[in-house]
Structure 1
Amino acid sequence: MALRVAVTLGLPDRLREPATADHLATELEASPVGLELLLSHLTTLGILDSTDEGFHTTDFGETLCTDAGNGLTNFLHLDMAGGRSEMAFVELRHSVTTGEPGYARHFGADFWTDLDRNRDLREQFDQQMVQRFQQTLPPIVANYDWGRFASIVDVGGGNGTVLAAILDANEKTTGKVVELEPTAAAANKRFAERGLDSRAEAVEGSFFDPLPAGAQAYLLADILHDWDDDHAHRILARCAEAAAPDGRVLILEAVRGRMSTTAFDLAMFVIFAGRERRVEEFETLAAAHGLALVTVTDVSDERCLLEFRRVS
């Protein structure tokens, strides 16, 4: 929590230039006593150093600066999508005993309603998704034969980061992203900036509603783990009904017991009431919609790709 408060107050950035606790307290309109206690603890943690000139950010503390490029600001800042969502962990006992998300109990609305109410949170969440894929996109693109699909629909594909990378590497493939506004507009902007607007477009819509029909592949990248089984069934049903007769449904996620971590499993549960699933659980979900598992491919250190085909 000390790190979260430090990032929320902007201390790592501000203290690239030394300042005393009293000076900072005036500048931030903070308690001089409380702020000095926080700064001292951050010094113990190695985030700050204390000199005659005051406190200043260490090389280690630079990892918490907004321009560090590692996404930590989003995950720690108490007013941004990542940091805000992790406050749901104070309701972990509630989630464990009831099976319900802690987020809604803590904030009075579920995560997705919160995003709908606050455009800044939605933009921060979209950026968080970009950051999560940033390091793993090259192996994801390289370790699966995306080029055999003439058309791909990226269902809930955010601002188009994943689809753009796939299309960049496969010049004969076209694609669509299905997303809510304003994320769909951001995806179209990305496609235009990458010179892909002749082969890619984003259409406004929800994955609980009918999807663009007839594509050869429907991609769900980090989607199903955000939802409980009832909602996962609804999403898979839309993919199955939209897919071409020889179409595929592709689930790209961490798989429990194979790629996932226990900490992230808990996060999915307490924030969304979702979870990382085992291969057999995906098979059971998909079978209800006439989908049979074809292959499971380890495409990165963090994610597997499960390919399903229509059988009915």
Structure 2
Amino acid sequence: MTTPARPTASVEAIERFTELADYVIPFTIRAVGELGVADQLRDGSKTIEELAVATNSHSPSLYRALLALASKGIFTEVEPGRFGLTPMAELLRSDTMLSLRDGYRLLSADIQAWARFDYSLRTGTAAFDLVHEQGYWDYLATHSAYSRRFDRAMQTFTKLEARAIIAAYPWTGVETVVDIGGGNGAFLSFLLRTYRTMRGTLFDQPHVVSGADAVLAAARVEDRCTVVAGSAFESIPAGAQVYTMKRVLYDFDNDEAVTILRNVRAAMTDDSRFLLCDPVLEPGDRSDISTTYGRIYDLLMLAMVSGHARSVDELAKLFSEAGLQLTRVVPTHVFPIVEARPV
């Protein structure tokens, strides 16, 4: 008779594991964000009845949700049945510079794909394609409301990423920038707003850049930014000093990536620079913010588009095939900036 293995996990390990493996709290955060509860508390605490009326919610159910979140430091029950904001709950407000609400919404198509992430681990291909019988980018192109929510989510994270990227790299003296796959212009807007003499070109697919005018106007940079619709698989606007690509290349396999990079090289002058702002994979148990951030996005790409992050050596090889040379890697608080120049 086999003797059962003696348990080796500590109480602390069990507590930490159950916290990380839980999906109830992440979904509750998103649902409460959808309701706009944090916005109702911007001027001070309110009773659960007041919150339920303001958010068109079921009072006893909302109370249960806020109690659970309060256990995690998101909201606080200041007195029985009355809730207020905490620093983490402030992030769910929609009216603050560092709001994360739109970045953590209930995106049903994504959630359905994650429910079959085991398929991605078995096959190396996107669970999204299996579940929806359609690729992620095709889905966004044919579901306009979903595409707008996706753009808002990307804009939310871009606010954090842009600050880190702009602070880490020497942009002074750069006069012209092309942002390839720049979405609705959120990153380029931050860059142009920081450097008042810089001019930019926003380049992405037609259905993506269709929403850029409002973003550029809100940042008051529309007079220094040209919007160009097109495909990076065909050609890229030529002649800029700097070409940027943030969280785009890891969407594609190696052959597709080389095609895009060759088009980047064709657009560059001999003095141009290419800045890839992508997660970069490194081995080991590192758990710093940049490494963790990159690894999470790597899995997101696997589940949604069969994409993947790459190591520095892998990127250097792709660059070489496209006529580019990796010149340096600049660390940031999110993911590194990988710089390349024409060979």
TM-score, with structure 2 as normaliser? 0.73
CA deviation profile, 1:128-186 (whole Å, cap 9, x unmatched):
22221323434422432334444221101122232233334445432211023354244
* C-alpha distance in structure 2 between counterparts of 1:2 and 1:194, whole Å: 33
Gaps of 5+ in 2: 1-26
Q: Deviations over 1:277-308 (max 9, x none)?
A: 2111111111111111122222x211222221
* Counterpart position of 1:251: 276
Q: Does 1:297 align with 2:330?
A: yes
Q: Which structure 1 residue ranges, 5 or more long, are not aligned?
A: none
- The question of 1:134 aligning with 2:170 is answered no
**1:266 Cα shift?**
1.5
| Residue 130 (structure 2) aligned to one of 92, 105, 108 | 105
Aligned to 1:284: 317
Kept in 1: contact 2:91–2:99 (CA 8 A): no
Q: Residue 119 of structure 2: which of 64, 83, 94 is its match?
A: 94
1:91 Cα deviation (Å)?
A: 1.6
Paired with 1:293 and 1:260, the residues of 2 have a C-alpha distance of 20
Q: Which stretch shifts more, 153-162 or 61-70?
A: 61-70
The aligned runs of 1:218-297 (5 Å cut-off) are: 218-257=243-282, 259-261=290-292, 262-297=295-330
SS in 2 for 1:135: helix
Tell me the equivalent position of 2:6: none
**CA 67–214 in structure 1, closer or farther in 2 if over 3 Å, else same:** closer
Q: CA RMSD in A?
A: 3.4
Check whether the contact 1:147–1:172 (CA below 8 A) recurs between aligned residues: no
Taking only the aligned residue pairs, the percentage that are identical comes to 27
Letter in 1 for 2:29: L
* Corresponding residue SS for 1:260: helix
Q: What is the aligned partner in structure 2 of residue 187 from structure 1? A: 212
Quote the Cα distance in structure 2 between the aligned partners of 1:294 and 1:202.
Answer: 29
With the length of structure 1 as denominator, give the TM-score of the two structures.
Answer: 0.79
Query: Which residue identity lines up with residue 221 of structure 2 in the other structure?
Result: L
Kindly indicate whether residue 18 of structure 2 is the aligned counterpart of residue 18 of structure 1.
no
Q: Secondary structure at the match of 2:237?
A: coil
- Aligned AA for 2:300? A
Q: Which amino acid in 2 is paired with 1:264?
A: Y
1:188–1:201: 8 Å Cα contact kept in structure 2?
A: no
Query: Given residue 279 of structure 1, which amino acid in structure 2 is its aligned partner?
Result: V
Instruction: Spell out, residue by residue over 1:101-148, the C-alpha distance to the aligned partner (whole angstroms, 9 max, x if none).
Output: 112223332221221122222222222222213234344224323344
Residue 73 in structure 1 maps to residue 101 in structure 2:
yes
The structure-2 alpha-carbon separation of the partners of 1:36 and 1:109, relative to structure 1 and needing over 3 Å to count, comes to: farther
**CA contact 1:7–1:77 (8 Å) conserved in 2:** yes
- The amino acid across from 1:305 in the alignment is I
Rounded Cα–Cα distance in structure 1 between residues aligned with 2:103 and 2:163: 23
